[in-house]
Amino acid sequence: MVCADIYSREPYVRRGGWTWYTGSAAWMYRLGLAAILGFQKIGNTLQINPAIPPTWDGFEIRYQFGESVYLIEVHNPEHVAHHIRQMLLDGQPLIEGSIPLVNDKQEHHVIVTMGKKD
For the chain, domains (ranges, CATH) are 1-36 (no CATH), 40-118 (2.60.420.10)
pLDDT at 89 over 60: yes
pLDDT at 5 over 60: yes
Nearest to 78 by CA among 52, 109, 46, 39: 52
Nearest to 96 by CA among 86, 106, 82, 108: 86
Residue 54 makes CB contacts below 8 A (sequence gap 6+) with 76, 79, 80, 81
Identity (one letter) of the amino acid at 37?
L
pLDDT at 1 over 70: no
Confidence class for position 26, pLDDT limits 50, 70, 90: confident
Whole-prediction pTM: 0.79
Nearest to 18 by CA among 30, 32, 2, 41: 2
- Residue-level pLDDT at 100: 96
Q: Work out the average pLDDT over 79-90.
A: 96
Confidence class for position 37, pLDDT limits 50, 70, 90: very high
Nearest to 100 by CA among 43, 35, 34: 43
